[in-house]
């Protein structure tokens, strides 16, 4: 977990310039990141030694982007311990990622990624050229240096956004045949499973995670107007002042998956692809569909987190986001068969809304209803014939 900072805190070193204004300091750090010139690293390290607490997040973020180091920091670490951890890491240089703190937990297994490569990360997007106030505002889900989805700001009263920016040139994760076999039928991410996957999980960003198996009913959504991210306004009271349709709430602007039914009070659940669904191989989808109808439950792999917002200071909403990393053909087959999908979910706790000291607990309360149970074909639609198309 990289260092956080309270943007409201300011230094008493002066009333002008970076020292007194965290936003100005953040803008300078963002500019250095975009320039990508590592010659500024020694100066940033010196700044980190004495900088006000409100500047620490931006300094370590810049050091991470410029050096590739990303040490795991304990939530209980003091500010001074955090500074020393980062200074030592920068002086040492990048090392191989490793899994730490693996422990059994309710519904799954918790673990931490130390020195994660950050190929898969939720991170601040570069500010728009017209942005004059908040150099760090909107976040994106990145695959490498390619932003895949815009996921919105961290503002607790803004909409959760999930809008496609562009498809990555390569797959989010490259998984060998040996690991693929661990997803064959009803996989459970226990300690042994995580140990086998450790080389791949190092592609995640540094932080703490909850790995669990979920059974998620899925329909494919091709019309954006049918997405829960669009239709959620139907469950809001006193919504007469919502803007016109063209200016309404953002939605996933690419085909994706979601449960066929929403129950008020549950989280709006969205399963977003990391590669275009129109490129799926029909024979592969049908092969998985046949095994699913015969009783197999192959696992798909997703990176997830929970957004919890008090939208426009009026509506309490939870959105459960699952970005598919592997298993697009399987998920399509589950949707066609009308069978709940077995989803191995890697929840990024540092990006999950909840009490900082128990984000896993807050998340478990949300996903409890999706815990594995006796899986049957859903009664709301018949299973397709073998020759059914998309």
From first to last of its 390 residues, the chain has per-residue pLDDT tens of 454 433 332 233 333 345 557 788 888 999 999 999 999 999 999 999 999 998 999 999 999 999 999 999 988 888 999 999 999 999 999 999 999 999 999 889 999 999 999 999 999 998 877 766 788 888 999 999 999 999 988 888 888 888 999 999 888 888 889 999 999 999 999 999 999 999 999 999 999 999 999 999 999 999 988 998 888 888 876 655 555 444 554 566 799 999 999 988 889 999 999 999 999 999 999 999 999 999 999 999 999 999 988 887 778 889 999 999 999 999 999 999 999 999 999 999 999 988 888 888 889 889 999 998 744 334 343 333 333 232
- Report CA Rg, the chain: 22
pTM summary value: 0.87
Which runs of E-coded beta strand occur in 107-166? 108-114, 120-124, 139-143, 146-152, 163-164
Which own/partner pairs from 147-156 qualify as long-range (CB within 8 Å, at least 24 positions apart)? 148/172, 148/274, 148/323, 149/252, 149/272, 149/323, 150/125, 151/122, 151/307, 151/321, 152/250, 152/307, 156/308, 156/309, 156/310
Question: By C-alpha distance, which of 358, 299, 351, 300 is closest to 120?
Answer: 351
CA 250 to chain centre: 18
Q: In 102-214, which ranges are continuous DSSP H helix?
A: 177-181, 191-201
DSSP calls for 252-321:
--S-EEE-S---TTS-EEEEE-SS-GGG--HHHHHHHHHHHHTT---EEEEEEEEEEEEETTTEEEEEEE
| Residues linked to residue 341 through DSSP beta bridges, in sequence order | 216
Asked if 173 contacts 180 with a C-beta cutoff of 8 angstroms, the reply is no
User: Which residue bears the tokens 């090392």?
Assistant: 95
């Amino acid at each position: 977990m990289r260092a956080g900072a309270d943007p409201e805190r300011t230094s008493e070193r002066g009333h002008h310039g970076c020292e007194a204004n965290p936003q100005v300091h953040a803008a300078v750090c963002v500019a250095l990141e975009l320039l990508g010139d590592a010659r500024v690293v020694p100066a940033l390290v010196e700044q980190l030694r004495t900088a006000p607490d409100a500047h620490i997040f931006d300094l370590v973020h810049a050091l991470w982007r410029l050096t590739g180091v990303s040490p795991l920091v304990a939530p209980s670490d003091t500010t001074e311990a955090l500074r020393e951890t980062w200074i030592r890491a920068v002086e040492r240089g990048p090392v191989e990622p490793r899994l730490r703190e693996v422990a059994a937990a309710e519904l799954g297994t918790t673990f931490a990624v130390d020195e994660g490569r950050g190929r898969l990360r939720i991170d601040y997007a570069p500010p728009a050229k017209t942005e004059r106030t908040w150099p760090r505002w909107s976040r994106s889900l990145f695959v490498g240096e390619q932003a895949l989805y815009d996921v919105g700001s961290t503002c607790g009263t803004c909409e959760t956004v999930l809008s496609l920016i562009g498809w990555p040139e390569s797959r989010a994760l490259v998984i060998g045949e040996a690991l693929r076999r661990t997803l064959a039928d009803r996989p459970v991410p226990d300690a042994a499973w995580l140990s086998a996957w450790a080389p791949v999980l190092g592609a995640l960003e540094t932080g703490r995670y909850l790995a669990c198996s979920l059974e998620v009913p899925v329909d494919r959504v091709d019309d954006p107007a049918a997405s829960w991210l669009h239709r959620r306004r139907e469950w809001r009271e006193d919504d007469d002042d919502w803007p016109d349709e063209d200016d309404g709430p953002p939605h996933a602007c690419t085909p994706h998956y979601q449960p066929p039914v929403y129950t008020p009070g549950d989280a709006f659940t969205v399963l977003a692809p990391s590669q275009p669904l129109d490129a799926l191989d029909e024979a592969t989808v049908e092969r998985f569909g046949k095994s699913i109808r015969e009783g197999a439950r192959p696992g798909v792999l997703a990176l997830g987190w929970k957004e919890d917002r008090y939208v426009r200071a009026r509506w309490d909403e939870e959105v459960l986001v699952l970005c598919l990393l592997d298993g697009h053909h399987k998920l399509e087959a589950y949707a066609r068969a009308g069978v709940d999908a077995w989803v191995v979910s890697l929840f990024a706790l540092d990006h999950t809304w909840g009490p900082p000291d128990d984000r896993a607990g807050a998340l478990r309360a949300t996903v409890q209803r999706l815990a594995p149970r006796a899986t049957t074909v859903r009664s709301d639609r018949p299973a397709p014939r073998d020759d059914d198309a998309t």
